[in-house]
Amino acid sequence: MTSVNSSSVTTSVELAPNYKIPLVLVGLSLPILLIQPWIGGIFSLFGLFLMFQTVAIRLQFTETALDVYRSGQLIRQFPYQDWQNWEIFWSKVPILFYFKEVKSIHFLPIIFDAKMLRTCLEKYCSKE
């Protein structure tokens, strides 16, 4: 995605949604519901919650910050200059994205394209 201003051209990359984790959680909850309804219900609700988040949340990498959008509205910006570290856990089956800012840490489930996430992180926030 490229945004054009009258004075300059800025480039941003929006990560595509990935429904694997929510679908796996909902799928696993079905047999568990037969054995332990409470536990299966918890798995199912969490999977449905992540499904909703996958539909509603978008991450966009710009030249200066990671922008978080919910239903098309910008809700938060994380300037790269404040980042100290980042990590994608379980690289073969990425499920969790962690990054640390000067004043806080953040954990996000991988509900977006993990390969493009890594590519953007390496481009905009090198680990040095």
- The pLDDT tens digits for 60-73 are 999 999 999 999 99
- At 128 the pLDDT is 59
H or E stretch at 38: helix 37-56
- At 11, list the tokens: 């480039």
Residue 71 to residues 33, 58, 74, 97, 101: CA-CA distances in angstroms? 32, 8, 9, 21, 25
Per-residue confidence (pLDDT) for residue 105, from 0 to 100: 96
Q: Which of 58, 62, 31, 25 is nearest to 44 (CA)?
A: 25
Q: Residue 28 — pLDDT band, cuts 50, 70, 90?
A: very high
User: Percentage of the chain with pLDDT > 70?
Assistant: 91
Q: Are strands 13-14 and 57-61 parallel, antiparallel or unpaired?
A: antiparallel
Residue of 86, 66, 61, 63 lying closest to 77 (CA atoms): 66
- CA 98, 1, 22, 20 dihedral sign is negative
- The average pLDDT across 31-59 equals 96
Q: How confident is the model at residue 7 (pLDDT cuts 50, 70, 90)?
A: very low
Helices 20-35 and 37-56: angle between axes, nearest 10 degrees: 160
End-to-end CA distance of the chain, in Å? 27
Averaged confidence pLDDT in the chain? 91
Say how many residues make up the chain. 128
Give the pTM.
Answer: 0.84
Q: What is the mean pLDDT of residues 39-56?
A: 97
Whether residue 43 has pLDDT greater than 60: yes
Q: Identify the structural domains of the chain with CATH numbers, from first to last.
A: 2-124 (2.30.29)
